[in-house]
Amino acid sequence: MLQSLKKYTNKIVLAISFKSVEAIIDLILPLVMAGIIDKGVMSGDLNYIIKQGTLMIIISTIGYASSIACNFFSVSSSQQFGEDLRNRLFSKIQTLSIDQLNNFNQSSLLTRVSKDVTQVVMMTMMSMRMVLRGLVTGVGSVIFSFMISPKLALILLFIVPITIWTTYYYMKKSVPLYSSIQKKLDNLTLILRENFLGIRVIKALSKELIEEDRFEVKNKKLSEKIVKADNTMDSKTPFIGLLINLGIVFILFSGIKEVNLGSVKPGEILAIINYLGMLLFSVNTLSFLFSMSSKTIISSKRINEILKQDSETYIKSSNLNSETDYILEFKNVNFTYNDHLPLTLKNINFSIKKKEKIAIVGSTGSGKTTLINLILRFYDATSGEIFFDGKNIKNYPLEILRNEIGIVSQKSFLFSQSIEENMRWVNPDATIEEIKESIRIAQGTEFVEKLPNAYQTIISKSGNNFSGGQKQRLSIARTILKNSKLYIFDDSFSALDFITESKLKKMLNEKLKNNTIIIISQRIISVMNSDKIIVMDNGEIVGFGTHSFLLTTCPIYIEICKSQGIENGGDEIER
């Protein structure tokens, strides 16, 4: 984080300098006031009172101007620091691999970018305003008190170490409490996110009351922890106040004796009391900052935990020209999400030629989507090799690799922008005619052009103003607008009726006739005409060939066909 803060060194120095001027002025004023009382009021010298009073006004005005200048530079530098830190965090998150992102839940990432950054920014701003002032006024009040009366100043020296120890004690107790609060806040945010995203499911199952109870339990635990932490920190303030008030009593008691002896004047006693008040302000200020630092330390650790993550490796582009006939090859590939878990994919071997239309079928959890994730390097294979267009994908620049692959995932995702802007995510230079053509191929023209704003229609959050089938068609249109060598459709036709799916695939095959296509599907009838079909079961490939070949060689494929009413080759159904 210091890297972001260094950019604003000049503004920070100016803020601290102006605050130092204000603190020094605060220390001078009690001495001027003591002179007015002892030399002006006590002797009835009106001219002296007017002159010194005017001086106090001038000095106070300078202090006021310094305070305004400090506030300007502290706010400016801290908010720019916060902006930069949020940008760095967001950019870092974009460069993390899927495997790394799985170590942080979404609610935690949201909290780190928003609440944790805000906490750090607030601490930065308050430090510029209060740390130096607290130190200068605290130390200065003791020094000036010694200059007036060493005996009375000893009372301040007695109070200072007790207050410092008290502050340290409470800070040490509060750090683990605030760390626990951040974790509980992440859990609460997770519940909120789940409920907002799954509100339809919750209502459909009539689980509102259960979710309310679950939220109340987590919310209560969070509140209890916050109350405990705040009470711990707040309980020190009355104790410090008690020490200061006892100090005032001792100063007045001892001061009367000193006045009678003639070693101290009444105005000087008032000045020492003012310095004691400054000491109280200084201690309370630093104590408040220590309280904030307990939270800020936790927030800083959470932010740095993200910033210190290694980014995905982006190797420089090298010679990517290839004369191979194969667009994709898996050689003895094994994969597990965790070294302590069984293999998710086992001994995967297959090759796909350029321009081939390939299907992948298998039961839920058989490893189909995991296999696709390896192609895109969302995860790296535990062992074995994967080649794309003749080159090991680990030696392939990630950005280029992913640009060469167009994918429509199981869950269609659209951004909260217009339909046209969503299409341009994959091809910023696409013309409106090209966008219309891709939507026409995806069988979306009819419903899009019926919308009041047509292609300028804004898509609501999560695409909730469109049906599942409409979202799938828009996602497919966006992907085919991308100029890629390989297109992957991961169960991307599941929300379409058979007629729409048939029309879409016919036009899709024509549009992408010179490209390789991989379709993952649960419906055999949708993929039986593929050049080859990969059959997966329990993380293994148990069949690879044409539909007719698999009907005679692969028991699992035969079973899937029978379960879907496809027998005798499925020719009758296909016709």
Each residue's pLDDT tens digit, 365-386:
888 889 999 998 888 889 999 9
| 3 state DSSP class of 66 | helix
Q: CA 403 to CA 82: how far, in whole Å? A: 33
Lowest mean pLDDT segment, chosen from 2-11, 136-145, 170-179, 466-475: 170-179
Does residue 211 carry a pLDDT above 90?
A: no
Confidence tier at 575 by pLDDT (50, 70, 90): very low
Answer whether 341's CB lies under 8 Å from 510's CB.
no
Provide the token pair at 305: 């935990």
d(CA 214, CA 221): 11
Q: What is the largest CA-CA distance in the chain?
A: 121
- Does 412-483 match 2-307 at the fold level? no
User: Residue 170 — pLDDT band, cuts 50, 70, 90?
Assistant: confident
The separation between CA 85 and the C-alpha centre of its own chain, rounded to angstroms, equals 11
The pLDDT confidence band at residue 329, using thresholds 50, 70 and 90, is very high
Q: Residue 316's pLDDT band (boundaries 50, 70, 90)?
A: low
pLDDT of residue 319: 57
SS (H, E, C) 81-133: HHHHHHHHHHHHHHHCCHHHHCCCCHHHHHHHHHHHHHHHHHHHHHHHHHHHH
In the predicted structure, residue 220 carries a pLDDT above the cut 80: yes
| Domain boundary assignment for the chain | 2-307, 412-483
- Give the pLDDT score at 573: 41
> Which amino acid appears at position 462 of this protein?
S
Token duo for residue 529: 């005409």
Using one digit for the tens of pLDDT, what is the confidence trace for 513-569?
A: 888 999 998 888 888 888 999 999 999 999 999 998 999 899 999 988 888 887 655
CA count, 13 A, side-chain hemisphere, 186: 19
The CATH fold assigned to 412-483 is Rossmann fold (3.40.50)
Place of tokens 């008040």: 277
Q: How many residues does the chain have?
A: 575
Q: Is residue 548 within 8 Å of residue 524, measured between CB atoms?
A: no
Q: Could you give the C-alpha distances from 411 to 204, 373, 516, in angstroms and in order? A: 20, 14, 22
- Looking at residues 334-352, what average pLDDT do you find? 89
Query: Where are the alpha helices (H) located in 309-405, listed in sequence order?
Result: 368-375, 398-403
Alpha-carbon distance of 104 to 92, in angstroms, equals: 13
**Both tokens of residue 266?**
């009444």
Structure token pair of residue 46: 């009106």
Structure token pair of residue 65: 């101007």
∠ CA 239-224-299, nearest 5°, is 80
pLDDT in tens, 431-463: 888 888 888 988 888 888 888 888 888 888 767
- Using a cut of 0.75, tell me whether the model's pTM lies above it: no
CA distance 381 to 370: 10
User: Per residue in 22-59, pLDDT tens?
Assistant: 888 888 888 888 788 877 777 777 887 888 888 889 98
In sign, the C-alpha dihedral spanning 455, 459, 465, 468 is positive
Query: Which residues, listed in sequence order, are joined to residue 360 by a DSSP beta bridge?
Result: 520, 534
Residue from 401, 352, 349 nearest 375 by CA: 401
CATH architecture of 2-307: Up-down Bundle (1.20)
| Rg of the chain on CA atoms, in Å | 36
**Tokens representing 328?**
């994709």
Q: Which residues pair with 385 in a beta bridge?
A: 331
Percent of the chain at pLDDT exceeding 90: 10
Give yes or no for residue 249 having a pLDDT over 50: yes
Q: Mind giving me the DSSP string for 507-572? A: HHHHHTTTSEEEEE-S-HHHHTTSSEEEEEETTEEEEEE-HHHHHHH-HHHHHHHHHTT--GGGHH
Q: Which pLDDT does position 313 carry in this prediction?
A: 61
pLDDT band at 197 (very low <50, low <70, confident <90, very high): low
Under 8 Å CB-to-CB from 81, ≥6 apart: which residues? Answer: 4, 5, 7, 8, 121, 124
Among 71-80, 393-402, 539-548, 560-569, top mean pLDDT goes to 539-548
Mean pLDDT (the chain) is 82
C-alpha torsion angle, residues 539, 540, 546, 549 (rounded to 10)? -130
pLDDT of residue 571: 47
